[in-house]
Amino acid sequence: MPLSRRQTLRTLGLGAATLAAPAVMRHAALGADPITVVGIHDASGGLDIYGLPMIACLSFAVDEVNAAGGLLGREIKLINYDPQSNIQLYTQFATQAATSDHAAVVHGGITSASREAIRPILRRYRTLYFYNTQYEGGVCDRNCFCTGSTPAQNVQKLVPYVMKKWGKKIYILAADYNYGQITSKWVTKYCRENGGEVVAADFFPLNVTDFGATIQKIQQAKPDMVMSVLVGGAHVSFYRQWAAAGMKKKIPMASTTLGGGNETLLLTPEEADGIVVAYSYFQEVDNPANKEFLQKFHAKLGDKAPYLGGELAMRTYVGFHLWAEGVRRAKSTDRMKVIEALESGIAFDGPPGRTVIDGKTNHVSLDVYLAEVVNRGFKVLEHFPNQPPADTASVCDLKAHPNTDRQFVIDVKI
Amino acid sequence: MDLLVAVALQVMTGIATLFLISLGLAVIFGMMGVINLAHGEFLMLGGYAAILSVRHGINLWVAMFLIAPLAVGLFGLIVERLMIRRLYGQMVETMLATWGLSLALIGIVTMVFGNTVGGFSAPLGSVQVGKFQFSAYSLFLIGAAGLLAVLVWIVLRRTPYGLLARGTMQNAEMAAALGVATERVYAVTFALGAALTGLAGGLLAPLSGVVPTMGTAYIAKAFITVITGGAAMLVGTLSASVLLGAAGVLGTFLTTPVLGEAALLALAIVLVRLLPRGITGRFFQRAL
């Protein structure tokens, strides 16, 4: 029934937008002075645990650049849209960003489903797109820069580490959409390469909250560890129910997603401590750039500063600065000039370490960290500098085939 | 052997959960005939009542067993007085009004508490069953569901109020002619249904977490259970919960969580096709 309400609203909204379009366009043409940047992140709905910190970091990065005089002498105007964890709204806002806001760049998308919804739209309207989330890899599109880490960077480090620590039998729990499906294949691949075995993989729609039967199935399968590729607010129940069944002390857990948002704050130390994860950033990373960033971030936002946890929010900050550097080097906001500048191998030294754009794939090489949850935060265990996006590079070559426009499902040999 | 016990316990937890989320609706829809599309939001309010009380330092059991049902029961009383009372017997109007109420409640709660997932940890720790471990809380839910079933049965069968309520629902005009204040009986019964729903919301909060839109995940299942159950509200809901809950959990065990859910829905379709008047339209016809 909510569907029909949405459809009605959408129809009405589209009608209104069509009527208002001439007025909006005239207005936009007059105020051409600031550079418009659009952010599309879920500030409500099940994905807000990821979206809210990302919005805070994007706004902070924009303010930083504006405080330093803007870009090319022009101020940056940031428009944040909230798609409310609803894919239909993503497409609507992407269209709006391209056609009526004339955005120089769109930063946004959290789930891979949302990215694949807006990526073709932004390409069609020739609007540059930055996707700043860790994801399953394989996107090959000159118009789209993916600045988060991918399985060849994070899972490749995570799986051997936890297998060495805990054993060879892995039970995978994953969210039932492209990210979960593909990431679980990568986990399987790295597990087998290290002489291990995946005893089972279960997939859950994003709204599932009851994991009771699954917890029994896991006990029956007796794995050496559980690998969680669960996503979003509803799936947080799994960690609660796992701990409530007393399983946390019996079977250890690693995750490719926990801590991407604020899950560690929602869970008690009894429920989450000891879970091992890999990301390209943790708030607890110890280096001077990060210390300086956090000090400024907290000075500016005060009590409202979100906990940054894993990488999603920080990659959004880095992604914006990479784009800004591209504009500086191109001396223009023209899309093709900025793309060419970015592909020349722009780097940004920030809190997570050095991020370099790989012009062949429009992905980045970055530092990867392993950490475990300790008392609602993370303890960084290991640091691997300069990891290339080897997974996407194995299928994507934009230098040779600049017109590629697709997400390769990397043939994970398992 | 251990596995059998583990599966059996899990099946019973699934049944208990389904029964808990449907019981309040069985009273409001099954007994009174009010199509309450805000049922899911009543559950959600119960969850929020429990979670907010716990955050303010109130004892967890008091929050779940007293505050959640009282708060939602009271809310139900207000809703009955302002809205439902004017719409008895008008099915379409009731649906529209309660659907509006559902949307409004989701909106208001989102504005006040934000659209984020809240939760608290389940109490009681875990128990060992052979090689398997269980959340003791889910065992407790089974007990709570059983106890509630007995309580509702006693109230409707053995108390003067129960007699008046059943009489009024059967033939309101005749009851009124015999001097029963039917308006009051309707109000109290609606509040009772709301309170049961609030209690269910409170009890489920530690397992599922609460979010303003959580009701939408439950409302379809609750209606399916009550409709599959048929005319005898208590026995019907109970037997439908047993069949559908078992199908869902066993399906999950044998295949995947998605197919488990599908098995539950498929069984409901088959049951309603074979027994259009619900399970109690053919079996246990004289039951409550």
Per-residue tens of pLDDT for chain A, all 414 residues: 445 666 655 555 555 554 444 444 444 443 448 999 999 999 877 677 788 899 999 999 999 999 998 899 899 999 999 998 889 999 999 999 999 999 999 999 998 889 999 999 999 999 999 999 999 889 999 999 999 999 999 999 999 999 999 999 999 999 988 888 888 988 998 999 889 999 999 998 887 878 888 888 898 889 999 999 998 777 888 888 888 888 888 899 999 988 876 777 778 888 888 999 999 999 898 999 999 999 999 999 888 888 887 788 999 999 999 999 999 999 999 999 999 999 998 999 999 999 999 989 999 999 999 999 998 889 999 999 989 998 898 889 998 898 888 888 877 665
A40 C-beta neighbours (distance < 10 Å), count: 28
What are the structure tokens assigned to B106, written together? Answer: 């989701």
| Probe site for chain B from A6, A216, A265 (most B CB atoms < 10 A) | A216
ipTM > 0.95 (yes/no): no
- Residue B215, token pair as written in the block: 């009701």
What token pair was written down for B225?
């259970």
- The total of structural domains in chain B comes to 1
Residue B164 lies in a domain: yes
CA angle at B245 for the pair B240 and B247, rounded to the nearest 5°: 100
Does residue B54 sit within a domain? yes
Task: Determine contact, residues A350/A317, Cβ cutoff 8 Å.
Answer: yes
Picking from A144, A148, A100, the residue whose alpha carbon sits closest to that of residue A122 is A144
Residues of chain A found within 8 Å of residue B122, distances taken between Cβ atoms: 240-241, 244
Which residues on B lie below 8 Å from A1 (Cβ)? Answer: 37, 99
Considering only CB atoms, B133 lies closest to which of A203, A234, A246, namely A246
pLDDT tens, B11-57? 898 899 999 999 999 999 888 888 899 999 999 999 999 988 988 88
Looking at CA atoms only, how far is residue A300 from chain B in angstroms? 23
Q: Do B211 and A245 touch (CB under 8 A)?
A: no
What are B99-112's pLDDT values in tens digits?
999 999 988 888 88
The residue range of the domain holding B184 is: 2-213
A271 vs B: CB within 8 A? yes
Question: Would you call A250 an interface residue with chain B, using a CB distance cutoff of 8 Å?
Answer: yes
Shortest Cα distance from A261 to chain B (angstroms)?
12
pLDDT at residue A29, as a whole number: 40
Torsion region of B272: left, alpha or beta (phi above 0 gives left; psi -120 to 50 gives alpha): alpha
Q: Are B249 and B14 in contact (CB under 8 A)?
A: yes
Query: Based on the number of CB atoms within 10 Å of its own CB, is B154 exposed (0-12), middle (13-18) or buried (19 or more)?
Result: exposed
Interface size between A and B, measured as CB pairs under 8 A: 121
Interval B124-135: pLDDT, tens? 777 777 777 778
Domain covering A2-149+286-366+387-407: architecture = 3-Layer(aba) Sandwich (3.40)
> Is there a contact between A233 and B121 if contact means CB atoms under 8 Å apart?
no
If one counts every other C-beta atom within 10 angstroms of the C-beta of residue A303, the result is 5
Residue A268 touches chain B, beta carbons under 8 Å:
yes
The answer to the question of residue B252 being in a domain is no
Nearest-Cα distance to chain A for B10, in Å, is 6
Q: Count other Cβ atoms within 10 Å, centred on residue B55.
A: 11
Q: What is the pLDDT of residues B137-190, one digit of tens each?
A: 888 999 999 999 999 999 988 999 988 888 888 888 888 888 888 888 899 999
Q: Determine whether the interchain pair A216/B253 forms a contact, defined as Cβ–Cβ distance below 8 Å.
A: yes
The first and second tokens of residue A297, run together, are 């971030």
% of residues, chain B, pLDDT over 70: 99
Return the half-sphere exposure (C-beta side, CA atoms, 13 A cut-off) of residue A201.
Answer: 18
Residue-level pLDDT at A115:
93
Q: Is residue B39 part of a domain?
A: yes
**A209 to chain B nearest CA, in Å?**
5
Residues of chain A numbered 215-234 and touching chain B (CB < 8 Å): 215-217, 219-220, 233-234
Give A119 to chain B, closest Cα distance, Å. Answer: 26
Residue B115 confidence (pLDDT) above 70: no
DSSP string covering B31-96: IT----TTHHHHHHHHHHHHHHHHHTT--HHHIIIIIHHHHHHHHHHHHHHHTGGGGTT-HHHHHH
Amino acid symbol at A399: K
CB-based contact, A236 to chain B, within 8 Å: yes
**Residue A354: beta bridge partners?**
A349
Verify whether the Cβ–Cβ distance A1 to B137 is below 8 Å: no
What are the angstrom distances between the C-alpha of A84 and each of A40, A41, A206, B44, B284? 10, 8, 14, 19, 47
CATH class (in words) of the domain with range A155-279: alpha beta
What's the CA gap between A139 and A148, in Å, rounded? 12
